[in-house]
């Protein structure tokens, strides 16, 4: 009996071991086959970028006009380790800036991995005034613009007239999927002669549809009227103008007036140059206007000096007269008895004349 039990246990053990071997042998080919089985990988560029070159496991693949490239058969684990962006043949002047791939290991059932790009376009800047007349770019010292993504650009020198590559489209992840958004820009400053001639963020543009932007700068007409401060007649030979950047210019005055050339919006100082006394006057140029300036001419100064001398002479005259009166008053008071000592003034009776005796 004991021998039969031992034999039964041995058979059970052999049966269990055989089952494990069978299961292992059954699953091993399937696993090997799963690992070895290649899948098609499709690379989709967003936004669509044609002629972009990618490399997978040492092999190059180029996107077509639809922005896709297909890898016929690849192990996704190998592709995840070896997939990389190589280059792009930019056309139509645009520039594709590679950002990143989506996770290849979580590629959708179609085997698609997305290559995300930012597309940039060249934008050229020119400058005009409020009437649309061209402004010489050499007068612009700095141009500042800012993107909707918060990136600021400052252009100066030759950059002011050369095309600038500006990112125009970018990919934004959303809960619903990937979304392509246009990037816009606003003009922050256009510095001319030391003053900002634009209103910040007022001028807005999209590089996707604007390849040449005429920046509108603000210039105004100013007429000067120069006159004598006291008598009002025309005065002065020229107007001295101090610009926001500190340099000075002179403009001749004719018949008491001068029309200045168009001035960029800003804070200026002006004064009349002529025979007399003039002071700098601050003037804010933010609209077309007429500015009235006055000059204290030599005649004005003579009149003021003469009036001053006359005032002094009159003051001296009346001062001396007052002193004399005070002295006379003081002298008359000293000749009188001092009442404080109790001295009384007794009026004496008139002398009585003796009359002759009557016989």
Q: How confident is the model at residue 297 (pLDDT cuts 50, 70, 90)?
A: low
Summary mean pLDDT of the chain: 82
Q: What are phi and psi of 280, to 5 degrees?
A: -70, 135
pLDDT exceeds 50 at position 358:
no
Helix, coil or strand: residue 347: coil
The pLDDT value given to residue 298 = 57
> In the numeric block, which tokens belong to residue 332?
């008359």
The pLDDT value given to residue 36 = 43
Which tens digits make up the pLDDT trace of 235-248? 888 999 999 999 99
The pLDDT value given to residue 30 = 44
pLDDT exceeds 80 at position 12:
no
The pLDDT value given to residue 111 = 82
The answer to whether the bond into 47 is cis (omega within 30° of 0) is yes
pLDDT exceeds 60 at position 204:
yes
Q: Which residues of 236-274 are buried (b: 16+ CB within 10 A; e: fewer)?
A: bebbbbbbbeeeeeeeebeebebebeebbbbebbbbbbb
The pLDDT value given to residue 23 = 47
Nearest by Cα to 285 from 216, 201, 160, 192: 192
Euclidean distance between CA atoms 155 and 143, whole angstroms: 5
The pLDDT value given to residue 21 = 45
Average pLDDT over residues 197-210: 96
Average pLDDT over residues 226-240: 80
The pLDDT value given to residue 294 = 84
* 264 Cβ neighbours under 8 A, 6+ residues apart: 192, 193, 195, 197, 217, 218, 219, 285
Q: What are phi and psi of 5, to 5 degrees?
A: -65, -45
Which tens digits make up the pLDDT trace of 99-122? 999 887 766 566 889 999 999 999
- What percentage of the chain reaches a pLDDT higher than 90? 53
Euclidean distance between CA atoms 312 and 48, whole angstroms: 92
The pLDDT value given to residue 160 = 93
The pLDDT value given to residue 32 = 43
Euclidean distance between CA atoms 172 and 167, whole angstroms: 14
Which tens digits make up the pLDDT trace of 139-148? 999 999 999 9
The pLDDT value given to residue 34 = 43
Are 215 and 187 spatial neighbours (Cβ–Cβ below 8 Å)? yes
The pLDDT value given to residue 37 = 63
Are 119 and 46 spatial neighbours (Cβ–Cβ below 8 Å)? no
Domains of the chain: 39-216 (no CATH), 219-300 (2.60.40.1120)
Euclidean distance between CA atoms 355 and 129, whole angstroms: 123
pLDDT: is 280 or 352 the higher one?
280
Reported pTM: 0.71
* 168 Cβ neighbours under 8 A, 6+ residues apart: 94, 119, 120, 121, 182, 183, 206, 207, 208
Which tens digits make up the pLDDT trace of 312-338? 878 887 888 888 888 888 786 544 555
pLDDT exceeds 70 at position 168:
yes
pLDDT exceeds 80 at position 65:
yes
The pLDDT value given to residue 63 = 95
Average pLDDT over residues 158-165: 92
Which tens digits make up the pLDDT trace of 17-60? 555 544 454 554 444 444 546 788 899 999 999 999 999 989 99
Least confident of 59-68, 216-225, 233-242: 233-242
């Amino acid at each position: 009996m004991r021998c039969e039990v031992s034999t039964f246990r041995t058979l059970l053990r052999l049966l269990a071991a055989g089952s494990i071997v069978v299961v292992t042998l059954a699953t091993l080919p399937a696993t090997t086959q799963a690992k070895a089985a290649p899948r098609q990988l499709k690379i989709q560029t967003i936004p669509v970028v044609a002629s972009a070159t990618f490399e997978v496991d040492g092999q190059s693949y180029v996107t077509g006009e639809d922005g896709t490239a297909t890898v016929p058969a690849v192990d996704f684990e190998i592709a995840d380790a070896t997939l990389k962006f190589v280059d792009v043949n930019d056309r139509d002047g645009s520039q594709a800036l590679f950002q990143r791939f989506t996770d290849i290991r979580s590629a959708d059932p179609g085997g698609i991995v997305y290559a995300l790009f930012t597309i940039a376009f060249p934008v050229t800047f020119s400058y005009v005034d409020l009437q649309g007349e061209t402004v010489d770019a050499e007068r612009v010292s700095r141009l500042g613009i800012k993107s909707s993504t918060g990136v600021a650009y400052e252009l100066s020198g030759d950059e002011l007239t050369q095309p600038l590559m500006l990112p125009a489209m970018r990919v934004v992840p959303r809960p619903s999927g990937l979304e392509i958004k246009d990037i816009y820009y606003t003009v922050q400053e256009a510095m001319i002669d030391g003053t900002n001639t634009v209103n910040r963020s007022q001028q807005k543009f999209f590089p996707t549809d604007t390849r040449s932007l005429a920046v509108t700068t603000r210039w105004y007409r100013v007429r000067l009227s120069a006159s004598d401060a006291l008598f009002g007649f025309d005065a002065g030979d020229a107007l001295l103008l101090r610009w926001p950047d500190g340099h000075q210019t002179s403009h001749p005055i004719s018949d008491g007036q001068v029309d200045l050339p168009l001035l960029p919006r800003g804070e200026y100082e002006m004064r009349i140059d002529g025979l007399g006394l003039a002071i700098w006057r601050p003037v804010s140029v933010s609209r077309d206007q007429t500015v009235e300036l006055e000059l204290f001419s030599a005649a004005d100064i003579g009149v003021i000096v003469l009036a001053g001398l006359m005032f002094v002479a009159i003051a001296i005259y009346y001062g001396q007269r007052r002193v004399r009166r005070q002295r006379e008053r003081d002298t008359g008071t000293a000749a009188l008895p001092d009442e404080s000592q109790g001295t009384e003034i007794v009026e004496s009776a008139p002398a009585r004349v003796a009359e002759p005796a009557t016989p």
